[in-house]
Structure 1
Amino acid sequence: MDFLRFLALSLLGSIAILLHNCIALDAVSPQLNDDILGLIVFKSALHDPSSLLASWNEDDDSPCSWEFVKCNPINGRVSELSIDGFGLSGRIGRGFEKLQHLKVLSLSGNNFTGNLSPELVLPPSLQRVTFSRNRLSGRIPTSLISMSSIRFLDFSDNLFSGPIPDEMFANCSSLHYLSLASNMLQGPVPNTLHTRCLYLNTLNLSANQFSGSLDLWSLTRLRTLDLSKNAFSGYLPQGISAIHSLKELKLQSNQFSGPLPTDLGLCLHLSTLDVSRNRLTGPLPESMRLLTSLTFLNIGFNTFSGELPQWIGNMTSLNYVEFSSNGFTGSLPLAMGGLRSVKYMSFSNNKLSGNIPETLMKCSELSVLKLEGNSLNGRVPEGLFELGLEEINLSQNELIGSVPVGSSKLYEKLTRMDLSRNRLEGNFPAEMGLYKNLKYLNLSWNNFKAKIPPEMGLFQNLNVLDLRSSDLHGSIPGELCDSGSLGILQLDGNSLIGPIPDEIGNCVSLYLLSLSHNNLSGEIPKSISKLSKLEILRLESNELSGEIPQELGILQNLLAVNISYNMLTGRLPVGGIFPSLDQSALQGNLGLCSPLLKGPCKMNVPKPLVLDPNAYPSQMGGQTSRDKPSQYSNSSPHHVFFSVSAIVAISAATFIALGVLVVTLLNVSARRRSLAFVDNALESMCSSSSKSGTATAGKLVLFDSNSRGSPNWVSNHEALLNKASEIGAGVFGTVYKVSLGDQGGRDVAIKKLVKSNMIQNVEDFDREIQILGKVKHPNLISLKGYYWTAQTQLLVMEYATNGSLQTQLHGRLPSSPPLSWDNRFKIVLGTAKGLAHLHHSFRPPIVHYDLKPTNILLDENFNPKISDYGLARLLTKLDKHIVNNRFQSALGYIAPELACQSIRVNEKCDVHGFGVMVLEIVTGRRPVEYGEDNVVILTDHVRYLLERGNVLDCVDPSMSEYSEDEVVPILKLALVCISQIPSSRPSMAEVVQILQVIKAPLPQTIPQGF
């Protein structure tokens, strides 16, 4: 019995164990299936171009073998998902809610878009979440993450917007790392962030639109605090020393004011301090001398004042020092030689005086030295030129003596040297030609009293050479262009003599050549015609003579030429910009032939070859003319006789003329046949919209032979007047997108002009539009043709695939990326070039009259193309309705002189509109913005910030990166363009020149005042 009882109990135990295991299996299996289900749901909403998630198979029993998935070895549940930088796109759905044991979720560096659903709640087990470098937008849902468990949260580099509610950080006691950088978040920082998240050691809110005052010193465990590029304001409070472990403090590009906290120096572990581009004032706190661990110190672009602290020279760990654009006085400390690790040093644009200390030569690692815009005096220390500097700028001081001879280190590394606007003198060192990598050399506005050494032609990479107003004499060495890399050559305002060397044609990279206000003589060399990139040519106020070479007319990129006040004679070149030069560019040449100049002109025209029969001997074999008549004589002694060569030339010319005439007649015949059937097709297309249904006699003219096609060149003849194909409307009419039926089904834009009395007959219309059809430029929408009837006038134009600048700036979808700074600069420069072509290549100039972002169209590469140009030629015939609409639709762009009753349109009106548009491009704001209680005028807003020294505060915050060296001068240029006095505005040719210089990799070439 005992044995049977034992056997029964054993069987019962085995059965119980089996039952338990089955129950456990039933419990685990659904959980494993939840992980698979969640990941498959997540994958189904994605676009995976490289099939990186191919191993994710819904038929598997477990996801633990899938790529990029890690599981907890104890319970077999998914614990980590890391899919970084794989180019995945799509939306983030709710599949993650199934992964209840997930601890790490990293999706950075992909193309996820759209809003995060307010219903999405990530698993409460999460400790680390990274959504950075995607294109997620909208508000961040407060219920998305359980802050009680999260330790690391990174939502940086997205398009999130709106304020952050207080409740998001109500329970963040576990949070150690938080980055919301590079979004469009705004409003104050939630109070709960600094009262509840007490264990934060990294906080990065940079590159947003946060505002309000700062109160974060209670986060005593912080090691990194980055609030840069926001709109924070107010004083920095005392008590920062409570953050004992602080290593990085970045507050640059805000609106903080007042002094720095006096206890800042008690943050003894601080290695990075950047408070630049604020409104901070007063002297630096004395406690900062204790920051001996600092390696990066930037306090530039504030209004700090007082004596430059001498303890700067004792901060031996520094490798980056930026004190520029403040109000510091005194001298540079002698102890600066102790900065043995410093690589970058700038004290530019202060009020410093005294000598440059010789001890700087002990800074053996120094790479960049900027001391411009002070009152430093004495000689340039020769020891500086023994260092391995890459850039040195000592301009706008009171330095004397000569340019030191460099060392082998300097010859190898130096890329930029600016010693302009000092009192330097003496000869240039012959060794200057040894600078192998020098790209920018500016020695202008000095007192050298020297000749230009031929060795300056040895620079292998020199892009800019500026020697203006430096008391130079002698001739221009032909060797200057030996390297072929020179882009800007400025020798104005010296005493140079002799001819312009013919070798100038070797400077094939030149786009700015300025030799004005010298004593140059001789003729303008024909070799200048080889400079195909040349945009600016200034030769005024010299003693140049002879005729201007006709070959210069082939220079298609020339935008500005000034040859005034020379001794030039003869005709202007017939091509390029020369026929459109104004009087100011030509005056002072009494022998020059132009209707703009008074007085006689001198023409060097060769006489025709004419032979006098009485002047030739007719004796053959000893006979005189009296004995034997010449074989070339005629019965009449008054007839003119031609040589054999002349007769051959005349015959050849006649033959060529007849050939040209025949070809022309054949082309005209072919064109008429080609246009006839297209005319009928377009006529029938337009007549379909008439009430009577009968065809209306019309005229079709196509300027571009590529625009011709079959009679069905519009795929749907009703699309032209169909609302669905409408892509824009303006003062002058409505624009439709139409697909041609020719090769490739090209798209064109067709503008139906608004009905008005501005055109009475086809002759007027044809005369005006034919002029516009000849306008060709890469930055102008090309006019391909027109169709005219008494009831309908249509313009056929080039189609731009990226729409208008207006849409890119103000109508962009949240999922679309904002315009980058490179594209914005491209748009500014291209628009300027297009306007310059209209203003300077036609006489009278073509004035746009309605320049604004809606009329700037963008092609597939974001190259700008100006549309609606030249319609102002019809202005005298516009009715009042159109004029009134023009003023209402272009509010903020209208030049002030046009507000009066007598409308006077000229080029300066376009310059004003261009300036306003540049401000709009840089700031991303409209010219006039209406708030609840105020109206913001963009031009006044930018000017105010510029005067306060905070102009970068107005830069469009949606741009994550931009060049400050380009943005600031462009904003200044825009403000000059919108001057109230038209004559104070630059010409568009000058604008292009300035923009070219700004965009060059050498920004110091910007003309004075910009």
Structure 2
Amino acid sequence: MRDFSVFLGFLLALLPFMVESAGPINDDVLGLIVFKADVVDPGSKLGSWNEDDDDPCPWFGILCDPVTKRVTEVSLSGLSLSGKVGRGLLQLQSLRKLSLSSNNFSGTLNPSLTKLPSLQYIDLSNNSLSGSIPDEFFSQCGSLRALSLAGNAFSGVIPASVGSCSTLVSLNLSFNKLSGSLPGGLWSLNELRALDLSSNDLVGEIPKGIDRLFNLRMISLRGNRLSGPLQEDLGRCSLLKSIDFSENSLSGSLPETMRSLSMCSSLILSSNLFSDEIPDWIGELKSLQHLDLSNNGFSGKFPDSIGNLWLLKEANFSGNFFSGSLPQSMSGCRSLSSVDFSRNSITGSLPSWIFQQHLERILVSGNKLSGPLQVPVISYQNLSVLDLSANAFSGWIPAEIGSIQGLQFLNLSHNSLVGSIPRSIGGLKMVEVLDLSANQINGSIPPEIVGAVSLKELWLKSNSLTGGIPSQIGNCSHLTSLILSHNNLTGSIPPTLLNLTDIQTIDLSLNNLSGSLPKQLSDLPHLSAFNISHNLFSGDLPAGNFFNTIPPSSVSGNPGLCGAVVNISCPGVLPKPIVLNPNSSSSNASPDSALSPENLAHKKIILSISALIAIGAAALIALGVITITVLNLRVRSTSASRSAAALTLSDGYYSQSPSTDANSGKLVMFSGEDPDFSSGAHAILNKDCELGRGGFGAVYKTMLRDGRPVAIKKLTVSSLVKSQEDFEREVKKLGKMRHNNLVTLEGYYWTPSLQLLIYDYVSGGSLYKHLHETSPMNPLSWQERFDIILGTARSLAYLHRHNVIHYNLKSSNVLLDGTGEAKVADYGLAKLLPMLDRYVLSSKIQSALGYMAPEFACKTVKITEKCDVFGFGVLVLEIVTGKRPVEYMEDDVVVLCDVVRGALEGGRVEECVDGRLHGKFPPEEAVPVIKLGLICTSQVPSSRPDMSEVVNILELIRCPQETLDSPWRR
């Protein structure tokens, strides 16, 4: 194929010298054949392309001018083609439209493509093209009107020459890796109607001059790292219909000139740093249908003018600092279908218009709304999502709520609701998620709940429910999560629970349930979390599948349970001894003869002998078990010692011991140094050398022969560790991580039953100890805390750039060296497990409670770097406040994020900073850092910034006057 391509290229070079009769048609035929030669076509879609044809007009995907027979359009979208976009297309001098989108073309962009004199439309979106966009690609673009390079891997800056492409009407460079600032030349494209630069890595401010795009209808800069205020001239683009600047770091207030955008139907400014109040002129945007101001710093009350937005369909104000009541004027928004006021400081009661607007989605969680719930008796065919959680609603759950036939998501958790669960709840035929947790609900779980036939998640934890688990629950065949913990339930687990073949999570902890556990629980195919701790269950645990790896904490607090997990042996069942009566063979023996003194005495002797036999047998069995156990331990100890002693080294990038036999271990040091331990390998197993224990194993301190201390982590998840090949691949990847704020992984040791990780030893102890266990007279200064926050952020940004997710960020995994520099430890260890099952993971890092992102609880959501961002946000608040992420009171659980948000919204900044600092901190640094921490702990992953953005923001927050005599620097 390559030789054929070269031959065709040679023919193309000769075309100008060929006879004119072969010219026009052969140019297009040969050009397309050369293009085909560079293409891999798995579906044979280009099978009709034959070099022997006189013209290509009948070919698949080709359109020609009916008069000249020259090719005017090449449309080959979505055909799974791959290869290069070759130079053969340059022969198509009459080409007006080129569409190769949604394939897998690779390579770089040919700058000569735009030289084609008639070309007006290029769509190369959703391929695998890479490299930079050549400057001459735009400088010679001729009559080009529409260009889409979206969904590729282009990098570098947007060429300044883009301003030369004056005929462009549509430009889409979204979902690439473009960096740098926005070139001012963009604003020279005064024919432009649509501009999409979303999901790149663009930085800096939006330059002035956008008002020169007087034809602009749509602009999207979503998902970049742009900062600074919105320019006043944006409001002069009077034809704008859609604006999306979300997921950046834009700040300031909304410029008043935006009131002139009377044609704007979509305004999306979510996940930025905008502040101040919503201006009253918002009501002048009469064409507005979609308004999203979520996850910013907006405050104050809602303007009454918002009720003038008669065409408004979706409004999202969540994640701000709005106060006052829900705007009554929104009853005038007759087109409204979705409202989200979540996570603000809104007070008062639910206005009547909420249930009279035929809304599809109502979300007001995380506010200060109060009063009883009043649901009018009307038809709610449209309402599918109702989230009133985390407020102060009181009274009974209204029975009318069961008449909302189309409801799919109902969350009334974390309120002060009382009474029993209404039986009408079974009328919610379409509800998939029902959450009534953390209220004061009493009574029993109504069996009518089985009427909710679509139910997937049932959350009733932290109430005062009594009675048993209704057997009818087994008819909810789609159930994946059953959370009934922290109630007063009694009785046993109903056998019908075994009918829930889709169940993944069962939490019955902190109740008064009793009885034995059905052994068939281990047959549930998708079960991945099962918590029955602190009940009255007895008997042995099920065995097999999930129950082979169940964490002990999930079954603790049940004194009657036995099995290996709880480290209590189950009593053996011995057969009753057979007692033979020598007189029983006489058929004439009378019934009374058996009760004679002689026979009774004889029977006692026989029973005593049989009892002695049983006791002796039991003793022998016990002695045998003990003997075998001791021998096994001795063999294992000898094997481990031999394995440790068998370590030898070789030169190279890393040193390792050759695998001598099945019992020997493999030691790898990434630096090539001699790793011999000065006190012998057994020192790492010495209890006296233990530094601490975490979710993945115990850590020991030992010395190398050169006197250098190292920390050895002995993994206690051996049964879950990958194969040796996969384990070594992951560990070697971690061994390449080198950053000033990371604890360096120096090497590892492998046997099938023992895995050790060798780290640099960090002498200053953990951040947890410095925050929570040091003397109140010697707390960390503000400067030290800020440096720890910044250092941790830099380490996470470094890990994320190398596609490593930490998964287990917490203050005990942030160590301080002798100079106070932060060193992040335990990164990437979850990848050593055979699969990233979030329930297994959460059971291994339960000490990270409070740091774990909410998506860990939803198995359908992908775990990403944004989980680390959430944990980092919690860590920031912990460092600033000096308080633990979660505090357990006698009758309550206090979540740090909620406390800080409430204090900040109430203007009580001093409550958000560790009192041990005695006011020695700069508020101009502390307040932005706290706000950044709250933004990082957003419930929505996409609303959290990337760690690289966090680093930039922290560097901007740090006050420039860092003098040594400042009181907070001491």
TM-score range, shorter chain: 0.5 to 0.7
Q: Which residue of 1 aligns with 2:669?
A: 731
Q: Which residue of 1 aligns with 2:354?
A: 360
* Counterpart Cα distance in 1 of 2:658 and 2:132: 58
Deviations 1:134-166 (CA, angstroms, capped at 9, x unpaired): 110001112235333111111111100000221
Match of 2:542 among 543, 551, 557: 551
TM-score if structure 1 supplies the norm length? 0.63
> Match of 1:395, as an amino acid?
S
Q: Which residue of 1 aligns with 2:197?
A: 205
Q: Which residue of 1 aligns with 2:661?
A: 700
Distance apart, 1:490 and its partner CA: 2.7
TM-score if structure 2 supplies the norm length? 0.65
Match of 1:55 among 48, 57, 60: 48
Change (3 A) 1:335 1:557: farther
Distance apart, 1:618 and its partner CA: 9.3
Q: CA RMSD in A?
A: 5.5
Deviations 1:48-73 (CA, angstroms, capped at 9, x unpaired): 11222222222222223322222233
* Counterpart Cα distance in 2 of 1:74 and 1:612: 111
| Deviating more after overlay: 450-459 vs 366-375 | 450-459
Distance apart, 1:198 and its partner CA: 1.0
Could you say what secondary structure the match of 2:137 adopts? coil
Match of 1:621 among 579, 589, 592: 589
Aligned residues: 744
Correspondences of 1:584-983 after superposition (within 5 Å): 593=568, 609-610=576-577, 621=589, 700-701=661-662, 731=669, 756=676, 780-783=721-724, 797=725, 886-887=759-760, 968=866, 971-973=869-871
Any conservation in 1 of the 2:517–2:541 contact (CA below 8 Å)?
A: no
Match of 2:146 among 152, 157, 160: 152
Match of 2:342 among 348, 353, 361: 348
Deviations 1:472-509 (CA, angstroms, capped at 9, x unpaired): 23333333333243333333333334445454444454
Could you say what secondary structure the match of 1:325 adopts? coil
**In the alignment, is residue 309 of structure 1 matched against residue 303 of structure 2?**
yes
Could you say what secondary structure the match of 1:700 adopts? coil
**In the alignment, is residue 515 of structure 1 matched against residue 508 of structure 2?**
yes
Q: Which residue of 2 aligns with 1:572?
A: 562
Change (3 A) 1:140 1:914: closer
* Counterpart Cα distance in 2 of 1:774 and 1:241: 61
| Deviating more after overlay: 309-318 vs 508-517 | 508-517
* Counterpart Cα distance in 2 of 1:221 and 1:164: 21
Q: Which residue of 2 aligns with 1:294?
A: 288
Distance apart, 1:395 and its partner CA: 0.8
Q: Which residue of 2 aligns with 1:906?
A: none
Deviations 1:159-195 (CA, angstroms, capped at 9, x unpaired): 00000221233x222111111111101111211111x
* Counterpart Cα distance in 2 of 1:894 and 1:76: 79
Deviations 1:287-336 (CA, angstroms, capped at 9, x unpaired): 22111111111111111112112222331211111110111122122233
Change (3 A) 1:148 1:966: same
Could you say what secondary structure the match of 1:548 adopts? strand
**In the alignment, is residue 85 of structure 1 matched against residue 78 of structure 2?**
yes
Any conservation in 2 of the 1:618–1:625 contact (CA below 8 Å)?
A: no
Could you say what secondary structure the match of 1:90 adopts? strand
Runs of 5+ consecutive residues of structure 1 not aligned to the other structure: 1-22, 580-592, 595-602, 662-686, 691-695, 704-719, 721-728, 735-752, 766-771, 784-796, 811-848, 856-865, 876-882, 900-912, 929-934, 943-954, 956-961, 987-1002
> Match of 2:128, as an amino acid?
R
> Match of 1:549, as an amino acid?
D
Match of 1:44 among 37, 54, 64: 37
> Match of 1:335, as an amino acid?
S
> Match of 1:345, as an amino acid?
V
Q: Which residue of 1 aligns with 2:813?
A: none
Q: Which residue of 1 aligns with 2:217?
A: 223
Could you say what secondary structure the match of 2:55 adopts? coil
Could you say what secondary structure the match of 1:109 adopts? coil
* Counterpart Cα distance in 2 of 1:562 and 1:982: 30
**In the alignment, is residue 441 of structure 1 matched against residue 434 of structure 2?**
yes
Could you say what secondary structure the match of 1:217 adopts? helix
* Counterpart Cα distance in 1 of 2:393 and 2:166: 59
Structure ID, larger Rg: 1
* Counterpart Cα distance in 1 of 2:939 and 2:434: 10
* Counterpart Cα distance in 1 of 2:145 and 2:821: 43
Distance apart, 1:426 and its partner CA: 2.1
> Match of 1:64, as an amino acid?
C
Change (3 A) 1:854 1:455: farther
* Counterpart Cα distance in 2 of 1:404 and 1:963: 32
> Match of 2:185, as an amino acid?
T
Match of 2:24 among 23, 31, 39: 31
Change (3 A) 1:205 1:258: same
> Match of 2:172, as an amino acid?
S
Q: Which residue of 2 aligns with 1:165?
A: 159
Distance apart, 1:30 and its partner CA: 2.2
Distance apart, 1:260 and its partner CA: 0.8
* Counterpart Cα distance in 1 of 2:769 and 2:420: 54
Change (3 A) 1:615 1:279: farther
Any conservation in 1 of the 2:135–2:159 contact (CA below 8 Å)?
A: yes
* Counterpart Cα distance in 2 of 1:639 and 1:310: 92
Q: Which residue of 2 aligns with 1:391?
A: 385
Distance apart, 1:439 and its partner CA: 1.8
**In the alignment, is residue 104 of structure 1 matched against residue 72 of structure 2?**
no
Any conservation in 2 of the 1:103–1:128 contact (CA below 8 Å)?
A: yes
Distance apart, 1:378 and its partner CA: 2.1
Deviations 1:837-868 (CA, angstroms, capped at 9, x unpaired): xxxxxxxxxxxx9998999xxxxxxxxxx988
* Counterpart Cα distance in 1 of 2:69 and 2:542: 82
* Counterpart Cα distance in 2 of 1:341 and 1:626: 94
Change (3 A) 1:617 1:485: same
* Counterpart Cα distance in 1 of 2:295 and 2:544: 47
Match of 1:233 among 227, 233, 240: 227
Deviations 1:329-365 (CA, angstroms, capped at 9, x unpaired): 221222333333222210111111112111223212x
**In the alignment, is residue 491 of structure 1 matched against residue 510 of structure 2?**
no
> Match of 1:309, as an amino acid?
P
Distance apart, 1:798 and its partner CA: 6.0
Could you say what secondary structure the match of 1:353 adopts? coil
* Counterpart Cα distance in 1 of 2:212 and 2:751: 59
* Counterpart Cα distance in 2 of 1:110 and 1:808: 34
Distance apart, 1:629 and its partner CA: 9.2
Match of 2:260 among 243, 260, 266: 266
Distance apart, 1:249 and its partner CA: 0.7
Could you say what secondary structure the match of 1:424 adopts? strand
Distance apart, 1:251 and its partner CA: 0.6
* Counterpart Cα distance in 2 of 1:540 and 1:332: 42
Deviations 1:969-998 (CA, angstroms, capped at 9, x unpaired): 553246669989999799xxxxxxxxxxxx
* Counterpart Cα distance in 1 of 2:161 and 2:311: 42
**In the alignment, is residue 471 of structure 1 matched against residue 461 of structure 2?**
no
> Match of 1:400, as an amino acid?
S
Q: Which residue of 2 aligns with 1:73?
A: 66
Could you say what secondary structure the match of 1:374 adopts? coil
* Counterpart Cα distance in 1 of 2:465 and 2:607: 61
> Match of 2:721, as an amino acid?
L
**In the alignment, is residue 416 of structure 1 matched against residue 409 of structure 2?**
yes
Could you say what secondary structure the match of 2:390 adopts? coil
Distance apart, 1:463 and its partner CA: 2.5
Any conservation in 1 of the 2:314–2:338 contact (CA below 8 Å)?
A: yes
**In the alignment, is residue 459 of structure 1 matched against residue 332 of structure 2?**
no
* Counterpart Cα distance in 1 of 2:541 and 2:940: 31
Any conservation in 2 of the 1:186–1:209 contact (CA below 8 Å)?
A: yes
> Match of 1:887, as an amino acid?
D
> Match of 1:168, as an amino acid?
V
Distance apart, 1:280 and its partner CA: 0.6
> Match of 1:229, as an amino acid?
G
Runs of 5+ consecutive residues of structure 2 not aligned to the other structure: 1-15, 629-647, 652-656, 686-713, 771-790, 807-819, 828-852, 854-859, 887-937, 945-970
